[in-house]
Structure 1
Amino acid sequence: MDSSNKNLVLRILLTISLVLVSEAAHESRGIPSEEEKKEMERQLKAINKPAIKSFKTEQVEIFDCIDIHKQLAFDHHLLRNHSVKLKPTSVPKWPITYDNKGQKVGPMQLQLKGISCPHGTVIVKRTTIQDLINSQHLKSIGFNIPRHVLSQGSNIDLSGHHFATADYDYDNVAGVTGNINLWDPQVSHDQVSLATMAIAGGPKIEQLASISVGWMVNPLLYQDHIHLYTYWTADGYNKTGCYDIRCPGFVQVSKRIPLGVLLQPISVYNGTQKEMDLSLHQVVTSRVSGVNVGYWPQSLFIASGLVKGADLASWGGQVYSPKTEKSPIMGSGHFPKEGFGKAAFVNNIHIMNGKGEALIPQIYTIETHESSPNCYKAKFVHDEDEPWIRAVYFGGPGGC
């Protein structure tokens, strides 16, 4: 497989996070049997660790303060002897090289109101039976795509999947950063709209590793509105990986910011723009608004390409809709040509090389990709274009 085809496959596989529902799944979604309920209850006992303190939000979601050393991550067979690293061994200094016209959402705004976890604990969202039911649908639909890719080659069925991104298609990416503009697009129950920043790599498709972080509107995963999300896999979405902390793997270290948290405030069209700074560095660490939220230990990716560096970095938007529905809006719902204050963006784009150096990517290394340009577009902004050195505008009204 040549490099261009490989990068196409990597981009397609990054859209796996959108393979959430289909007509068949929609029709088969039903009430679990008594035997299935008992199995789910057994799973819940394993997933939801004993809480030292618990809190219920206005959205009727329960968050638990869990002993940092007894969290779900350590149920993973590769992490049973893992020692928690509260801080990364080194943090790259990401240079700020742009005129920041938007307002950053800070750590205090991401904290859940009235929730304070004690020292030595981390905050996690409690999993429910409904979460497990939804997860079963996601896995049954989305995790077979790599085999489809391998068998069909370039004839990949992208029905219902749409993306508009700026991609860095060069080897040796050890980290990325970006400030993602916050919007809250309206979607139906079985649609998805998200803004993401991702890295991916691997010597073979079945060993593809990827990590994504950003915001998502997805009623199947989250009740409503815009939520912070992560996704990872170490084997081409075959057996490993999940969203947030719905499976062992991600080691939470923050007692303030949980994965899956509702994000607010959001941007206003032709008004104040809100953005959240995100970074993935040293392959495994996730920082949100300057706070080290947690990390994916390198042992999870021991057989994959991410330990030695990624092949692709990507910033932009993605949506999904069943074939029976018109596709939802992406970002603000407006095309990039409308510019700042009206179109969604990711600014302050940087990459980290294998030496741990944070760099502004050269202009020729970034390309935009639009799967459905009539409905969604991406525009790479650089140097002479105000107001940033490196950024991407993305989005559109949908309707495909």
Structure 2
Amino acid sequence: MEFSSNIVLLTLFTVSLVLAAETAHDERRTIPSEEEKIEMERQLKAINKPALKSFKTENGEIFDCIDIRKQLAFDHPLLKNHSVQLKPTSVPVWIPSNNISRNIGPLQLLQKRIRCPHGTVIVKRTTIQDLIHSQHLKSIGFNSPRHVFTEGNNIDLSGHHFATVEYDYSRVAGVTGNINLWDPQVSHDQVSIATMAIAQGPIEHLASISVGWMVNPLLYQDHIHLYTYWTADGYNKTGCYDIRCPGFVQVSQRIPLGVLLHPVSIYTGTQYEMDLSLHQDRATGDWWLVFGGVNVGYWPKSLFMGSGLVKGANLASWGGQVYSPKTEKSPIMGSGHFPKEGFGKAAFVNNIQILDGKGEAFIPQIYTIKTGESSPNCYKAKFIHDEDEPWIRAVYYGGPGGCIGQLSRN
């Protein structure tokens, strides 16, 4: 079981980054033809639904207020007759935890003047550059199962490194964690993320959802952004980041996926975190994303029909990962400092909790948690438990980077 779960979780964290980062050099060189530009304009008209109101932020991003029942999600063939759920029918009661850092409020992410009317949801507008990026995701051929560390494996994982803790002991109906916010500097080709994820099934049919923050110049242009990623078939034909394809049903009028996160933590200074949770509605089977107690939206159960996530997950993970082309040294993960430096210096995810099959929250026991470090010379993870301060369950993770070469098999 340990060997199998390590394969699945490693795939979960590496493939989502492979999709976004492996094509960095090629993307900068690619200029679409006139025919491709015409096709992209057609796609934009299909993706960007008519807006009742629009806003442009100080950093140039455009957000649209879309009729909640006409959003992109319902272009998915499995959601044609889907009825919008405005809120989950079941709400988890998480165990109170010690909080010694500052939570960013979900309503402070956008300027106060950005407020969508009743009956609409806020979404980030897709651009030509977004479509060029999506075109590259298809062209690089990462649309087949990722069998990692198996006989005959020809998948090149050079440049991918992770430091996480994972839970694979029993059924998981939800997870939560307070994810420390940092804004690591990376090059145009590099990616650095903090993530919380759930998954179910064998690699070839892996169903997973991951959420957290990401610094990825190709995907988000600048700084640290809220990100999500989902797949229902091992990254073969389903899934995408945020709302770059039909699937995720947005219900929030104030928290768009892909939004810039601020403020961020300062080394030896004020620490900021965001409170995220994923949970499955016990009545509908939908998977809800909650930010700071506010319902952002959900992935309908129908997206995962035939996969394990319909009946819950069996794997959960918290921590970080980075990517860099194999010819470059790997970038900073988290704060850029090792876990041994502790609070105020190393990145963390605290308040780690899980929902069981009955929808009841519990704090995972020490023996159910495993630590994974692919490149311990550059990045480490440290699981914090009862006798460690200041939290009952947490993970410190990260490191300065500087690795080159094949992903370690540790």
Alignment TM-score, normalising by the size of structure 1: 0.95
1:267 matched to 2:270? The reply is no
Q: Distance in 2 between matches of 1:154 and 1:170?
A: 27
**Most deviating of 29-38 and 390-399:** 29-38
Deviations 1:309-330 (A, max 9, x none): 2121000000000011100000
Question: Which residue identity does 1:196 align to in structure 2?
Answer: T
Match of 2:99? Answer: 100
Match of 2:335? Answer: 332
Match of 1:172? Answer: 171
Paired residues of 1:171 and 1:309 also in contact (CA < 8 A): no
SS of the residue corresponding to residue 324 of structure 1 reads coil
Paired residues of 1:190 and 1:219 also in contact (CA < 8 A): yes
SS of the residue corresponding to residue 140 of structure 2 reads helix
Q: Distance in 2 between matches of 1:372 and 1:224?
A: 26
Q: Distance in 1 between matches of 2:351 and 2:154?
A: 35
Match of 1:79? Answer: 79
Match of 2:349? Answer: 346
**Most deviating of 227-236 and 146-155:** 146-155
Q: Distance in 2 between matches of 1:44 and 1:206?
A: 31
Question: Which residue identity does 1:195 align to in structure 2?
Answer: A
Match of 2:64? Answer: 64
Match of 2:407? Answer: none
Question: Which residue identity does 1:55 align to in structure 2?
Answer: F
Structure 2 gaps, min length 5: 281-285, 404-410
Paired residues of 1:171 and 1:311 also in contact (CA < 8 A): yes
Q: Distance in 1 between matches of 2:165 and 2:289?
A: 20
Match of 1:361? Answer: 364
Residue among 236, 242, 245 paired with 2:243: 245
**Most deviating of 5-14 and 306-315:** 5-14
CA RMSD of aligned residues (A): 1.7
Match of 2:158? Answer: 159
SS of the residue corresponding to residue 93 of structure 1 reads coil
Q: Distance in 1 between matches of 2:304 and 2:144?
A: 20
Question: Which residue identity does 1:379 align to in structure 2?
Answer: K
SS of the residue corresponding to residue 313 of structure 1 reads strand
1:191 matched to 2:194? The reply is no
Deviations 1:348-396 (A, max 9, x none): 0001111111111111001110000000000000001000000000000
Match of 1:221? Answer: 219
Rate the CA distance shift 1:154–1:35 in 2: closer, same or farther, 3 A: closer
Match of 2:406? Answer: none
Q: Distance in 1 between matches of 2:272 and 2:322?
A: 21
Q: Distance in 1 between matches of 2:272 and 2:392?
A: 19
Match of 2:205? Answer: 207
Rate the CA distance shift 1:150–1:362 in 2: closer, same or farther, 3 A: closer
Match of 1:37? Answer: 37
Deviation at 1:152, TM superposition (A): 4.7
Rate the CA distance shift 1:382–1:238 in 2: closer, same or farther, 3 A: same
Residue among 306, 311, 314 paired with 2:314: 311
Deviation at 1:146, TM superposition (A): 1.8
**Most deviating of 354-363 and 19-28:** 19-28
Rate the CA distance shift 1:296–1:323 in 2: closer, same or farther, 3 A: same
Percentage identity across paired residues of the two chains: 79
Question: Which residue identity does 1:292 align to in structure 2?
Answer: N
Count residues in correspondence: 396
Deviations 1:86-145 (A, max 9, x none): 110101101113x21100001222234420100000000000010011122234337335
Rate the CA distance shift 1:21–1:29 in 2: closer, same or farther, 3 A: farther
Match of 2:134? Answer: 135
SS of the residue corresponding to residue 123 of structure 1 reads strand
Structure 1 gaps, min length 5: none
Q: Distance in 1 between matches of 2:24 and 2:61?
A: 29
Q: Distance in 1 between matches of 2:81 and 2:261?
A: 34
SS of the residue corresponding to residue 78 of structure 2 reads coil
Deviation at 1:158, TM superposition (A): 2.4
Q: Distance in 1 between matches of 2:158 and 2:50?
A: 42
Match of 1:295? Answer: 298
Paired residues of 1:25 and 1:137 also in contact (CA < 8 A): no
Paired residues of 2:146 and 2:155 also in contact (CA < 8 A): no
Paired residues of 2:203 and 2:234 also in contact (CA < 8 A): yes
Paired residues of 1:206 and 1:236 also in contact (CA < 8 A): yes
Rate the CA distance shift 1:151–1:25 in 2: closer, same or farther, 3 A: farther
Deviation at 1:210, TM superposition (A): 0.4
1:46 matched to 2:76? The reply is no
Alignment TM-score, normalising by the size of structure 2: 0.93
Rate the CA distance shift 1:378–1:313 in 2: closer, same or farther, 3 A: same
Q: Distance in 2 between matches of 1:366 and 1:156?
A: 28
1:372 matched to 2:371? The reply is no
Paired residues of 2:207 and 2:231 also in contact (CA < 8 A): yes
Paired residues of 2:147 and 2:153 also in contact (CA < 8 A): no
